[in-house]
Chain A
Amino acid sequence: MNIVVCIKYVPDWEAPASQFRIEDSRLVPAPGIAYRISDTDDEAIEAALQLKEKHGGRVTAISLGPASARDGLKHALAMGCDQAVLLDDPAFEDSDAAGTAAVLAAAIRKLGDVDLILTGRQAADWDQGQVHAGIAEFLGLPAVIPARHIEWTGSEFIVHRIYEEGYEEIAVKPPCVVACSNEIAEPRYPTLRGIMAASRAQIPVWTAADLGIDPGRVGRAGRRTRVLRLYAPQVEAKCEFIEGENPEEIAAKLVQRLREEKLL
């Protein structure tokens, strides 16, 4: 089974908001902020590795630049991916989700012979949850989002798709795109051997020309959406702390305050 996992390398989303600066409708992390594989993209890698361990095949990680995304791809290799490709070209800069998906789809087409394409359900920086759908539509494939379990029966994938009240069992034929939710797997830590091998691995870079992409379809030129402005919403702190000698006293005071506020 050949699987491609699309990962995004993003600034640490757990860093406090004060560590980000707004500059020309871009979010700029402070110099010390580390980059990480986005939330749920690492779980997608793990899900791919588990399917490969069961059914054989090859797992390829791909990421659309910046050049520092190479470190994210190294991490994917260290976890056990067989190969990685970085997609980087000045023409890709400032792509929206449509441009990003077009580049990823072109790279998947170039890799060829793919049974399953995995992504995270939404990237931790822009929280859009669009790229999986774009890849699917550009390649003419079905898509399932968000998935908390995938299995292969030999002829189809059974995907557990989350909905408000539980989950659905969806049968979908390969090749298909599945956007993974956090429940799907617990990402493994790379082994020392994996890290060593990854540090020696060559990560090819594919450009717009390599992918046969018309630069007018991606980057700034190919955008369907534009950011007008970014700002930080204000939260005002006005917490009244309830204190007391023991839990009983605290509980009694809290209940009294809630009653005074007509909340009980």
Chain B
Amino acid sequence: MLGRKAARPAGDAGGEALRLEGVRRVYGPEGNQVVALDGVSLSLPVGSFTAVMGPSGSGKSTLLQCAAGLDRPTAGRVFVDGAELAGGSEAALTKFRRQRIGFVFQQFNLLPTLTVMQNVTLPLKLAGRKVDRRRAQEVLERVGLGDRLDHLPSELSGGQQQRVAIARALVTEPRVVFGDEPTGALDTRSARAVLALLQEAVRVYGQTVVMVTHDPVAAAHADAVLYLADGRIVGYQQAPTAETVAERMTHLADEVERQRITAGV
């Protein structure tokens, strides 16, 4: 495949889109704590497409939320597009996200009272940026919904809603786009369309995409796969294919199971 760029788990700062340094995230009160992330460090270059995989509960969503500034790590540092994630108020964090980050969820999280067009232009309005309807329309055409501008989310299929969510994430031209199981609620065909859009964001527009998925076929659309287990990075694979990913996931699951048994958990 053309234009595939290598992602490195750690390393040089040149053209670095995302860096995590020793990120820990602990949930729950003292005495009843769950360590969701146990010191994760990684570095992803600009223009890379990385899939994050791991068993359920391994900390994938937590990792993504910490990296995207939706959650604050208990310890460690996060850099997006060269800038350290602001540790200030919620408003400061929001402003940081607006400029650099797009996010796509499994549940599309479109505002139900807004039309497709209003949903897509909302991030621009909120940021006080000029609302270029033509550009928004272009983005919506890119995701194949140029003719549904005035529909409400409830009038669209799941796949269509997810494409609106992607258009909304792309319209601000963020440096990094995060997706938490963006294809998790979709059928194979809609999923493929969504993955193609994410690939296009990387290949054509040079954006960086990080996507959590449980689906080896979806992971194979990425340039590289990060494997997570029990809050730690346990593997890294370049040029993944659906078969190799599926195989590795099976091993990983077995291994985690074995470790848990020997640890007496």
Bound together: no
